[in-house]
Amino acid sequence: MPNSPTHSPLGDSPGDPLSGPFDAEAIYAHLLDQIRAGLAPKALQQLVLIGIHSGGVWLAERLHRDLGLAGRIGTLDISFYRDDFGRIGLHPQVKPSDIPVDVAGASIMLVDDILYTGRTIRGAMNVLFDYGRPARIDLAVLIDRGGRELPVEARWAGARFNLPSDRSFVLTREPADGAAAQSRFALTIEPQFRS
């Protein structure tokens, strides 16, 4: 069953979702705290993180480091697995998928930035099952924005907030200041363009 945050840095109130500001770093910290509280140390060390390009990969990289996980993270590009591929065509920036472990029998945490209709997650699971049959797949997202069209739920979400269908959250990374610093997340709302 999905964990419902008791406090969300973005907010769970029905107020104006376009008013901002949105603290992406606070939302990320809330997501990280949920995962730490929800998984035993042994389960964490057996976990394989797989991020969906591009925002999900950024989140997976940060979670991997902040949770102190061993091994490499995996990355997925689901461009060829989208159920609307025939309608919208190929995204111009297709990235290679890289699964560094044997998926069969693995406990996988699939990571994405924004959960909306559920179609991206469905495509990602199709990719994973092409590699093997995982023992378990859990989903972690920075934002669950509602609007589901498929029965997909995140086990962990940094914030849950319904956003009008003509808007979308956009996650970006701000450059790090100095060699030892890490990049920071920024979150904006932009018009939603549907083809």
* Cβ atoms of 79 and 91 closer than 8 Å: yes
Residue with tokens 């559920």: 118
- Residue 137: the pLDDT is 97
Phi, psi values for residue 57, rounded to 5°: -70, -45
- Residue 94: the pLDDT is 62
Give me the average pLDDT of each 10-residue run along the chain (195 residues). Answer: 45 50 92 96 93 96 94 89 52 74 95 96 94 96 96 97 91 77 88 64
Walk me through the domains of the chain, giving residue ranges and CATH numbers.
Answer: 26-165 (3.40.50.2020)
* Cβ atoms of 60 and 73 closer than 8 Å: yes
- Residue 180: the pLDDT is 59
Q: What is the spatial distance between Cα 164 and Cα 145, in angstroms, rounded to a whole number? A: 9
Q: What is the spatial distance between Cα 145 and Cα 157, in angstroms, rounded to a whole number? A: 10
Token representation of residue 173: 């990374």
- Sheet holding 74-76: strands in order across? 74-76, 47-52, 107-115, 136-144, 156-160
Q: What is the spatial distance between Cα 56 and Cα 60, in angstroms, rounded to a whole number? A: 6
* Cβ atoms of 89 and 167 closer than 8 Å: no
- Residue 97: the pLDDT is 85
Question: Helix 24-38 crosses helix 55-66 at what angle (to 10 degrees)?
Answer: 50
pTM of the model: 0.84
- Residue 68: the pLDDT is 94
